[in-house]
Amino acid sequence: MNKQKFTLLAGLCATALVTGFGNAALAQDKLEQILQRGKLIVGTGVGNPPWHFRDEKGDMAGFDVDVAKIVAKGLFGDDTKIEYVNQASDARIPNIVTDKVDITCQFMTVTAERAQQVNFTIPYYREGVGLMMAAGGKYKSRDEMKAAGAAVTVSVLQNVYAEEMVHYALPEAKVDQYESVDLMYQALNSGRADAAATDMSSLQWFMKQNPGKYVDGGYGWNPQTYSCAVKRGEQDYLNFVNIAFREALTGVEFATYSKSFEMWFGVKPPEPKVGFPEELR
């Protein structure tokens, strides 16, 4: 082998090595991969307002969708560069693990058990159970209902621990379990129940759709944290998403987050305090 040939071979090897490593590094870095693709693949559901559903025009809408848009805006400066993958609740984790989606935003409750399978982002909402009463009804707040004891009837969706759930807030109340959400609301409308108890976000959405007809009981319990989830082992990418969310909750994108929050839940989220960054206290 002459010297020229050897140099050429060595050069080829080196190139192959470098490009090979380069490709490997590229394949490993999810953030880079998404940026090159030019769109974010978001896993979420349809048909659960105010979280994720198709609006009258057939476009994806809801709070989960808006949260995903924050990430897309951070990536591309354009919140329309999203491909939605419609998935059932039980596909949320598998679709992340098998790389079918880059991120899942689908009212996913954070649990330590799930955190072994996926990486959770920082939370964007805290769900809980709330009480809703008819406006101008007998009781104005949870305290009044608590004082009234067994005279109060609460309608709930039939569920495991439905009675325990209500009795946590109203220990003596009678609990009527209905098999569908519309029957639960009907019970409240017809005065069969003094209050309806269900997910705070559903109540807020319902109150927003029917302004002036209902009042909030002013008490929430049974907290559960909602976060988006990404694949494990992509720390850089996770950091990026977390920064995008943090700045939406506390920084430059707060206006976007706040507008969306108010749109779906009818109330404004508390403003971040200017000055010392409170979350570091």
| Minimum CB distance to another protein, residue 217 (Å) | 20
119 versus 155: smaller Cβ distance to another protein = 155
Q: Which of residues 118-157 bind another protein (CB under 8 A)?
A: 155
| Minimum CB distance to another protein, residue 215 (Å) | 19
Q: Quick check: 207 binds another protein (CB under 8 A)?
A: no
Dihedral, CA of residue 108, residue 109, residue 112 and residue 113, to nearest 10: -70
By CB under 8 A, the count of residues binding another protein is: 16
* Token output for 94: 């598998």
Q: Quick check: 104 binds another protein (CB under 8 A)?
A: no
Q: Quick check: 90 binds another protein (CB under 8 A)?
A: no
- Binder of another protein out of 1, 112, 160, 274 (CB under 8 A): 160
Q: Quick check: 181 binds another protein (CB under 8 A)?
A: no
**Quick one: which segment of 3-11, 75-83, 104-112, 186-194 binds another protein (CB under 8 A)?**
186-194
DSSP string, 160-224: TTHHHHHHHHSTT-EEEEESSHHHHHHHHHTTS-SEEEEEHHHHHHHHHHSTTTEEEEEEEEEEE
Residues 6+ apart with CB under 8 A from 167: 173, 175
- Binder of another protein out of 48, 141, 186, 242 (CB under 8 A): 186
160 versus 255: smaller Cβ distance to another protein = 160
Residues that bind another protein (CB under 8 A): 155, 158-161, 176-179, 183, 186-187, 189-192
